[in-house]
Structure 1
């Protein structure tokens, strides 16, 4: 049984809520659509250069995360307070534990899902984009660092930072129910927002240990670390073929 810890610190209230999250999510989707159109207009999808793949992958999430941070500054108390971005070694350790659980769950889930829908349908959007495209060592390293380290930070800021804070701000009768509501909603929207209908159920399974790290610690660092641990093997799976070491 997972029990959410009580946060000893009292945090000041902020003035942003669901509207802030919806704005950031709309910005994320609009940026992704704009980049896709620009890349498609430049040359056919089959021959999109790796630099275009990197821009198309990194820019939308990065811009949305920066917008989320800006909102906490303009209408709140800053990201460290509003998004619970404190550094605590206990949170890192909790994140590592849930990340390890997530790796096991993800590995089993991917194996089962691939067996059900086939290898082509089970592949992620990023995996599909970079499949069979030559990548320079620099491009491969950038993609690896984004998937493993930077991407999880950006996504956690948006979903288990901004969205989580918006849900907790509502009156749920108790702080405990507010946290569980934030966990359920952020897990669901995180999976759906990837816009990969065939993989939504798999993404839900993957997101649960990450969300539990946020729930248990009461802060964002635990889920960031859990997300990064969970993304390590997928990042390696993209890096090694790009370097010509092996094919997955």
Structure 2
């Protein structure tokens, strides 16, 4: 539809502000936590003295974040203008390039941070929750590749929708006096909440280091795609390591 003629006396009307805020994020976060507890119950009791079944690992890892992300998107549809406008999600090559640049920065920060953190806590305590699940856990090629693709591609999309999308938009909506302070508050809060939400207290400091470049990509462009790309790039090497471990190719 063409822009209205300024001589006509009609001004162009933009989309109405979304009607969701921090309450929507709290519902989504509660959904994530409840699903993480409820899904394993649906899968049945864990076998005693045996490795977890592969379907237990896959569904228990993938389902909670995907369900929470769907709930986040539904909030933007029911209470806003949809995910593309409300979450600032659009396809731009410059956002891909920016995400890749911040992804490289993230890989450097993560590699250095992981080395320092491992030296501090010891290698026997350095595994993430997912790494610990797949360690000594034989998987078929299909299951291992599914886990790899989730950790590398799909998981970051879901997490960015929740934290640098819904939470970020909810904090920005508070204004904080000036727009720039709203963006800064959104960056700081989403970085901290993202790290804490993994529920791995020992790794929270490392997760903060990982989260900063991803949040900076969102802060720099003002859009979600850049942080998704940065997150995916940052996750590639850890996801590859888990894939090789699950297949029994290497042992970390």
- Of stretches 80-89 and 39-48 in structure 1, the one that deviates more from structure 2 is 39-48
| TM superposition shift of 1:96 | 0.2
Partner of residue 65, structure 1: 69
- Of stretches 70-79 and 115-124 in structure 1, the one that deviates more from structure 2 is 115-124
Q: Which has the higher contact order (CA 8 A, sep 6+)?
A: 1
Q: 2:81 aligns with which of 65, 73, 77?
A: 77
Per-residue CA shift, 1:51-101, capped at 9, x if unaligned? Answer: 110000000000000000011000000000000011110000000000000
| TM superposition shift of 1:50 | 1.1
Distance change in 2, residues 1:169/1:147 (3 Å):
same
Partner of residue 151, structure 1: 155
CA contact (8 A) 2:40 2:56 kept: no
Partner of residue 10, structure 2: none
The two structures have a TM-score, normalised by structure 1, of 0.93
Partner of residue 186, structure 2: 182
- In 1, Cα distance between the equivalents of 2:42 and 2:135? 20
CA contact (8 A) 1:106 1:205 kept: yes
RMSD: 1.3
User: Which sections of structure 2, spanning at least 5 residues, go unmatched?
Assistant: 1-13
- In 2, Cα distance between the equivalents of 1:135 and 1:80? 37
1:15 is aligned to 2:22: no
Partner of residue 138, structure 2: 134
- In 2, Cα distance between the equivalents of 1:192 and 1:46? 30
Number of residues of Structure 1 aligned to a counterpart in Structure 2: 239
Partner of residue 6, structure 1: none
The two structures have a TM-score, normalised by structure 2, of 0.92
| TM superposition shift of 1:247 | 1.9
1:227 is aligned to 2:231: yes
- In 2, Cα distance between the equivalents of 1:203 and 1:96? 19
| TM superposition shift of 1:120 | 2.4
Give every structure 1 segment of 4 or more consecutive aligned residues whose post-TM-superposition deviation is greater than 4 Å: none
- In 1, Cα distance between the equivalents of 2:43 and 2:130? 15
- In 2, Cα distance between the equivalents of 1:200 and 1:90? 31
Aligned 1:1-248 pairs, distance under 5 A: 12-39=16-43, 41-44=45-48, 46-248=50-252
Bigger Cα Rg = 2
What secondary structure is seen at the aligned counterpart in 1 of 2:139? coil
